[in-house]
Structure 1
Amino acid sequence: MTITPTVTPTPTPSPTPTPTPTPTEEAALIPNPQVPDLVPNAEPVPLPQGPAADLGSTPGARGTTTADGAGALLTYTVVEGDAFFDIAQRFNVPVQLMLTMNPSVPGLGENIYIKQIINLDWTTTR
């Protein structure tokens, strides 16, 4: 006995039409409301300026300083274990002012390195 397979094609379904979407009304455009008069920010409080005063070595600021002939502090040399914040505290200088005086210090003072020279003279930048 021989079996002969017969192939019957699968019927292709006819596409079902999709209903036409119902039109919707577009929302009316509303102009932007009037912006009230802007109130300027308060003037920033100026940073206190003045010569650095050495308050003494601390665990985060143990480096050495240089001074001019009149004794005004000029520079500080970073040593291992120093932190920029602690250096600013040692010399009674706000960190923001210390950063302004030392624009070459990267990372907002987080990236100081050993033997780096930090400016302590508030009349100059380094």
Structure 2
Amino acid sequence: MQRSGGGAAASAPLTVAVGGALAFVLALSGCAPAPTPPPVTIIATVTATPEPEPTPTPAPVPPPVAEVPAEPAPAPVPNAPAPVVEPGPAYDLGARDGANGTPVVDGSGMPTSYTVVAGDSFFDIAQRFDLPQQQLLRMNAQVHDFGENVYIGDVINLDWTKTG
């Protein structure tokens, strides 16, 4: 019998010790209720909103009156075709790459023709004799493909008075 009494007495303090430890753990873990903050007092002040000043409306502007032209505009006149201005005679500016041959000159020293040599191009011949390529093509109807193909021995006319 002593045993059962001793066992009961021993278990009571154990229960108390566990309960005290539980309260300690709850206090440390933040589960305890937070303290209540002090009350806050709000004071509201009512201010009247000022009334806006009415803006005066501008007087209506009458719409502009369309003016009637005194006379109708003249009918457009087409332009006259632009005149074809051929630059003057050919001048030899000297041999250059693409135009190394020797020109034939007349009695006054003006070049009248040029014979194509190896390495010549129609564009360079026109540059050497200070002529636009289109004019040199008009002066030499025998040159085909806009001067792309000139051959060794071809004679190029440089006399602007003789076309053909």
* TM-score, length-scaled by structure 1: 0.64
Looking at structure 1, the residues matched to 151 and 132 of structure 2 have their Cα atoms a distance apart, in angstroms, of: 20
Structure with bigger helix share is 2
Q: Aligned-residue CA RMSD in angstroms?
A: 2.0
8 Å contact from structure 1 (residues 47, 97) kept in 2: no
Looking at structure 1, the residues matched to 120 and 146 of structure 2 have their Cα atoms a distance apart, in angstroms, of: 15
User: Highest Rg: 1 or 2?
Assistant: 2
Identity of aligned residues (%): 54
In 2 relative to 1, CA 39–124 (structure 1 residues): closer, same or farther, beyond 3 Å?
same
What are the Cα deviations for residues 48-88 of structure 1, in whole angstroms up to 9, with x where unaligned? 32110011111011111001112121100101111101100
Give the counterpart letter for 1:51 in structure 2.
P
In the other structure, the counterpart of 2:101 is 63
1:124 has 2:162 as partner: yes
Looking at structure 2, the residues matched to 38 and 77 of structure 1 have their Cα atoms a distance apart, in angstroms, of: 50
5+ residue gaps, structure 1, are 1-36
What are the Cα deviations for residues 19-67 of structure 1, in whole angstroms up to 9, with x where unaligned? xxxxxxxxxxxxxxxxxx9985762352432110011111011111001
In the other structure, the counterpart of 2:147 is 109
Q: Higher relative contact order at CA 8 Å, sep ≥6: structure 1 or structure 2?
A: 1
Looking at structure 2, the residues matched to 84 and 116 of structure 1 have their Cα atoms a distance apart, in angstroms, of: 11
**How do 1:1-80 and structure 2 match up within 5 A?**
43-44=81-82, 46-80=84-118
Aligned length: 90
